[in-house]
Amino acid sequence: MLNIAVVGSGRGSNFQAILTAMQQGNVPGARICLVVSNNSGAGILEIARTNALPAVHLSQTQFPDEQAFAAGMVNLLHEHGADFIVLAGYMKRVPREVVRAFRDRMVNIHPALLPKHGGKGMYGLHVHEAVIAARERLSGATVHYVDEEYDHGRIVLQRSVPVFAEDTPETLAARVLEAEHALYPDAIRQLAALHAAEVVR
């Protein structure tokens, strides 16, 4: 069984999509062991509590420095038996020590077709503004492994959506988000199957 910790900062609609897919039996071999947010009022924590899942508020402000924060995060993840991390709308940089501890075992979702329109500052509506400004005909979502650089790790899976001439960043964001909600559970299903194969080997 792949124990997944979900880390996010906001409303948690991707987490909800993943959870629903799991509850429907569509992600065999994986379960949520922990939900972490840097924001105590985040919807993602609320969703976890509603579903009786461990929900923890963990923020850099609770620690003297970044190193202590990173160690606190790794400890928390280990305490809950996490062997995989799913970032779902986490608005902070993941500390390097956590990236190292979960190398090839942490993924993120980005609301564009990487390697285009990613990197520092490319979050929320900024991404969709950039896609429209570049007159792209296609956008979409990307699930990728997390490394030390923003939106940079190996791509796991992508799903595209059309960009229409009349799109605003908001209408495009809504179309991409719908694609994310199908893509992320799909990607996690594949990753869980891969993990099961690795454990058997």
State how far the Cα of 141 lies from the Cα of 147, in Å rounded to an integer.
18
194 in Cβ contact with 36 (< 8 Å): no
Min dist CB 102 to ligand GRF, Å, is 17
The DSSP bridge partners found for residue 105 are none
The alpha-helical segments, DSSP class H, found in the chain are 13-23, 43-50, 66-79, 96-101, 125-133, 169-200
Which residue in the set 110, 117, 159, 189 belongs to the binding site for ligand GRF (CB under 6 A)? Answer: 110
Binding mask 67-106 for ligand GRF (x = CB under 6 A): ---------------------xx-----------------
Distance separating alpha carbons of residues 157 and 136, to the nearest angstrom: 20
Active site residue 126: no
Residue closer to ligand GRF (CB basis): 11 or 105 = 11
Closer residue to ligand GRF, CB minimum distance, 84 or 142? 142
Q: Does 14 bind ligand GRF (CB under 6 A)?
A: yes
111 vs 153, beta carbon nearer ligand GRF: 111
- Find the part of the chain contacting ligand GRF (CB under 6 A) among 109-117, 145-153, 155-163, 191-199: 109-117
Q: Which of 57, 80, 110, 126 is catalytic?
A: 110
CB-based burial label for 165 (10 Å; 0-12, 13-18, 19+)? exposed
Q: At 13, phi and psi to the nearest 5?
A: -70, -30
Measured from the CB atom, is 15 or 102 closer to ligand GRF?
Answer: 15
Q: Which residues are catalytic?
A: 110
